[in-house]
Amino acid sequence: MSGRSGRHERSGGRDRGSGRGRDRDGGSGRGRGDDRGRGSGRDRDGVRAPAGAATAIYGRNPVREALRGRRASAVGEIWATEATAAEPWLAGAQVRVARAEEIEARCGSSSHQGICAAAGPYPYADPDELLDAEEPLLVVLDHVQDPQNLGSICRTAECVGADGVLIHERGSAEVTPAVCKASAGAVEHLRIAKVRNVADFLADARRAGCWCYGATAPEPAGVGGRSYASPDVGARRGASQAPSEDDRAASQVVSYDEPNYGGGVVLVLGSEGRGLRPRVAAACDQLVTLPMRGRVQSLGVSAAASALLYRILQDRSQGP
């Protein structure tokens, strides 16, 4: 296999009665100490937004992408400085000229770049629809709480052509104007869904034929890979018989460039500081890690997502 993990096709339909409504991911994991991404009424810049400003998206890229994205019909009034209102991409749009201070008061951020727009609620996708795509590439975030991280990951996911991003419906950053800004408007094109239980969604993805890869930090020198499943499962990757629904393939932590990322792929990324929760890690087929050659022994979650997603894209571009 030239150092690459071989695998067989997964077959069988999904069982919709997987109990996804039960919140059994394990651990408290609710992030109550950090509400930055959950509509606290305060933008990352520290400016308190006026009532109703939660849907006032701001910045050139977010507004431009919203006008041509999935919620284009929901974009209402646009406020822009005189210079910004004259930009060609706003031709034909109903724009109200306003001073920079007025725009900041409307959107609650000083990072507005001279423009903001009223937009309806973010149109979250249905998780089942994301799994219905042919050989999908999905990103699952296990309690990522920083809106900047969520926005950056969504930007990369959209750039590599991912079919969607899934977030936990509680204790996680949601799609807010700050996330729209951090994503440079990518969230207007990328489908994002909420799930009540990450581990149960991964079980659904496995039944749908996807392979789930969890990102984890490398083990310290001299320490073996962590096992989240029975030790004989990895051997079944090369067996002639396809793995059953209960299999946990390749339970050891492996280098990010070892798996074969063809077919349906779900990349799972853990929260800032804590990583994947145990039950979520155990629900993955394989855990992958990026090499650390410097003195700092970990990457931020958005940087790790970029490295892994482009590796997956490279693998999928080369074909079987």
- In the chain, where the domains are located: 53-118, 127-317
- Asked if 163 and 313 touch (Cβ cutoff 8 Å), the reply is no
Q: What is the pLDDT of residue 284?
A: 95
Q: What is the pLDDT of residue 100?
A: 96
pTM of this prediction? 0.77
Nearest CA-CA partner of 289 in 214, 192, 177 = 214
Q: What is the pLDDT of residue 297?
A: 78
* Residue 265, token pair as written in the block: 């792929």
- Asked if 285 and 258 touch (Cβ cutoff 8 Å), the reply is no
Q: Each residue of 75-107: b (16+ CB within 10 Å) or e?
A: beebbbbeebbeeeebeeeebeebeeeebbbbb
Q: What is the pLDDT of residue 318?
A: 82
Q: What is the pLDDT of residue 4?
A: 53
Pick the CATH number of 127-317 from 3.40.1280.10, 3.40.50.300, 3.90.700.10, 3.40.50.970: 3.40.1280.10
CA distance linking residue 230 with residue 205, whole number of Å: 20
> 200: which residues sit within 8 A by CB, 6+ positions away?
18, 19, 20, 22, 24
Phi, psi of 19 (to 5 degrees): 80, 30
In order along its 320 residues, the chain shows pLDDT tens digits of 444 555 545 554 444 344 444 444 443 333 333 333 333 344 444 333 333 334 799 999 999 999 999 999 999 999 999 999 999 999 989 899 999 999 999 999 999 999 999 998 999 999 999 999 999 999 999 999 999 999 999 999 999 999 999 999 988 999 999 999 999 999 999 999 999 999 999 999 999 999 999 999 876 544 444 433 323 333 333 333 333 444 444 447 899 999 999 999 999 999 888 889 999 999 999 999 999 988 887 889 999 999 999 999 999 988 66
Q: What is the pLDDT of residue 21?
A: 40
CA distance linking residue 78 with residue 67, whole number of Å: 10
Q: What is the pLDDT of residue 273?
A: 81
Q: What is the pLDDT of residue 213?
A: 97
User: CA dihedral in degrees (113, 118, 120, 122; nearest 10)?
Assistant: 10
Q: What is the pLDDT of residue 55?
A: 78
